[in-house]
Amino acid sequence: MDWANVLHGAQQLTWLEYVVRGVVVYIALITMVRLMGQREITQLTAVDFIVAITIGTIAASPLSMPTSSIWAPLLSVLVVIAAKMINTYLGMKSQWFERLSSGEPVTIIKNGKIQEQAMKKGLWTLDALMAELRRNKVFSLNEVELAILEPSGKINVLKKREQQPVTKQDLAVDSGILFFPAFLVKEGRILRDNLEEAGLSEAWLRSQLQAMGVDNLETVFAAQLSTTGVLYVDTYDDTAPQKKNVARDLILIQIKKLEAQLRQFAQQADDTNTRQIYQELNTKAQQLYQKLTQAWGDRTSLITSTE
């Protein structure tokens, strides 16, 4: 293999020289494209598209034409990328320049009404609009409050309020995350740091494992705590029967969460009557908790950590 042939080209190249050229061009292109930044990959505007095609076309010549030098095309690609980076930089500095080079978002549907002028200007047909809406899981124009055509050519849709799914915020429900999901046992060994971080004791862990029918810690391949406090246990012996009786701890956690929620709502209540109801329910929840802990035994190691 002759490196001069690889880099400067020749009338004829050996197959090995073709392969090395391909690898060199590939590595050079990857390096240069990475310089352009993540934005280019995720938000392809019309300009980005043209730049990508130009780079591809230029980079193809040293791979298909043996007489072509490798340097000139790579230099050309570098110039195109530099121009694109300058373009991006100027766009970041000047809104006017950004709009000039990349275009600007256009409102296609506003207050549920199609903007015919904007459709004409963007050469959009109703069928094309419906196809884009369907991509956004919208199948009827009646569902749309606002639709914006982005410079990338994609349409983003805001559904009408009544069409939007109910969120946890709407229902004033918290995220339900009590613990950071972490392994408590790995290959028979207790991970004490994780146990401590979750505010749980070794005694609790062992009682949980026993409740699942696991008496020997060395038989546990992995035990992981979920966000809601459920312990997932996998033993080496997958045929060994396990009692999955962690439901009681979950019930107690739920009651504690309910108590916390009721306390919070009582503090937030605007009128005395509502506050009294929340306080009354909170007292009932506390009594319920006591009743169950008396029947099921002491589980304070778990509960302390959830408060």
Partner 1 sequence: MKEFKQLKSVESMLLGLRGDLEAESQLATDSNEAAAINSALEDVASMLERIGQQLEQARSAQGDDTNGLG
> Nearer Cβ to partner 1, position 93 or 243?
243
Q: Does 294 bind partner 1 (CB under 8 A)?
A: yes
CA distances from 192 to 11, 182, 195, 196, 204 (A): 68, 11, 5, 6, 12
Q: Does 171 bind partner 1 (CB under 8 A)?
A: yes
> Nearer Cβ to partner 1, position 16 or 173?
173
> Nearer Cβ to partner 1, position 90 or 260?
260
Q: Does 170 bind partner 1 (CB under 8 A)?
A: yes
> Nearer Cβ to partner 1, position 134 or 284?
284
- Going by C-alpha positions, the residue among 215, 211, 219 that lies closest to residue 185 is 219
Structure token pair of residue 212: 């699942």
**DSSP-derived 3-state class of residue 103:** coil
Write the DSSP symbol of residue 143. G
DSSP labels for 196-242?
A: HHTT--HHHHHHHHHHTT---GGGEEEEEE-TTSPEEEEES-TTS--
Contacts for 192 with CB less than 8 Å, ≥ 6 apart: 202
Could you tell me the smallest distance in angstroms from the CB atom of residue 219 to partner 1?
24
Binding mask 238-277 for partner 1 (x = CB under 8 A): -------x-xx-xx--xx-xx--xx--x--xxx---x--x
Could you tell me the smallest distance in angstroms from the CB atom of residue 22 to partner 1?
60
Could you tell me the smallest distance in angstroms from the CB atom of residue 174 to partner 1?
9
Rounded CA-CA distance 195/209 in Å is 14
Among residues 292, 299, 301, 305, the one that binds partner 1 under rule CB under 8 A: 292
CA distances from 79 to 56, 83, 133 (A): 14, 6, 38
Q: Does 285 bind partner 1 (CB under 8 A)?
A: yes
Size of the site for partner 1 (CB under 8 A): 32
Q: Which residues bind partner 1 (CB under 8 A)?
A: 170-173, 245, 247-248, 250-251, 254-255, 257-258, 261-262, 265, 268-270, 274, 277, 280-281, 284-285, 287-288, 291-292, 294-296
